[in-house]
Amino acid sequence: MAKYRREVMSQRLVVNYVEDLKPPIEYAKKITKNDVTFIDGYFTSPHALLFPESMPGPVGRAHFRAFLPEKKMGPICIHLAGTGDHSYFRREWLLVEDMLKDGIGSIIIQNPFYGDRKPPQQFRSSLENVSDLFVMGAAIIAETNYLFSWAAGLGYGPFAISGVSMGGFMAQLSGSNAHRPTVIVPILSWTTSSPSYTDGAIAPAIQWQNLQAQLEDQHYLDKIKQIPDVDWLDRMHEMTSENGDLPARNMMRILMDYFVSLENYPVPIAPNLAHIFLADQDMYVLRNGGTKSYQEVWPGCHVEMMENVGHVTAYLTKHQVWRRKIGQLLREL
């Protein structure tokens, strides 16, 4: 996985693999009503074809729902799920329906490890392994870009991708690997998720003692040492000696930055089409710890700070603002 991030995802080569694999897309349902074609579909995730051991059983089947205007094969936006969003309902109700009124189609996809893709032993949204989060991101990059190619083959375009919170992180990673100018609208996200998982509101939900026990297991340490071209353990020890924090927490910082930080991914083909929404009182997605700003990692992008709102209040009250911006940027393409 570390090699794949370094040699494929970080080099904007995911689409090359996706186009070679071309898993067939199946329709569980397809109906046309009020000039909109509704599709419930699924396909084997390209990432599951590459790494089947990391996406066993239902995790490897990508489920999506598409809303495609029939009168004019115009723009399409993919909306990615945030933390805890196991269904299509919230995105369909808050985003899809109003965008259809403006002639913009939508595709909503289930995250790996969520909804129909949840492993039977997993409890709700609590991923069993830290690595599952990285698998989720890698898989979503492949799946969203595959769906862009599928929609383009049907005659639709141009394209946008968006998401809130965790969905925003996934949207920006997916957009970094797009091979065409793409509108990218991450909402309540940041350039890396490491501060959120180590210092933010989600940190108490992580089983730090279990992770620390792994780092004290020599067999586990030997496996990390066998990963080529990484210095994770050395950096963990160095950080621990400097900040006195739990080694597991420092290892989480290292892994999150390695797999999720935008510093390790390509700048989008058209960064001027990226519009980022932040909340000035967000205590869930943190923007600290010396992490780089969006302007530093994506020169030319636009950042809009939503004032007097936190993470939850912005999610509940700002959908109309986000929809308008996505539509505006798509019309500029």
Q: What is the pLDDT of residues 115-141, one digit of tens each?
A: 888 888 877 767 777 788 889 999 999
Average predicted confidence (pLDDT) for the chain? 91
Question: What is the tens place of the pLDDT at every residue in 76-122?
Answer: 999 998 776 778 888 888 888 899 999 999 999 999 998 888 888 87
Over residues 158-195, the pLDDT tens digits come to 999 999 998 999 999 999 999 999 999 999 999 998 88
CA distance 286 to 72: 41
What's the topology of domain 2-192+262-332?
Rossmann fold (3.40.50)
- What the block records as the tokens of 307 is 């004032």
pLDDT tens for 3-48 read: 899 999 999 999 998 889 999 999 999 999 989 999 999 999 999 9
Kind of pairing between the strands at 36-44 and 302-306: unpaired
Residue 242 confidence (pLDDT): 93
Q: Where are the domains of the chain?
A: 2-192+262-332, 205-256
Provide the pLDDT for residue 75. 96
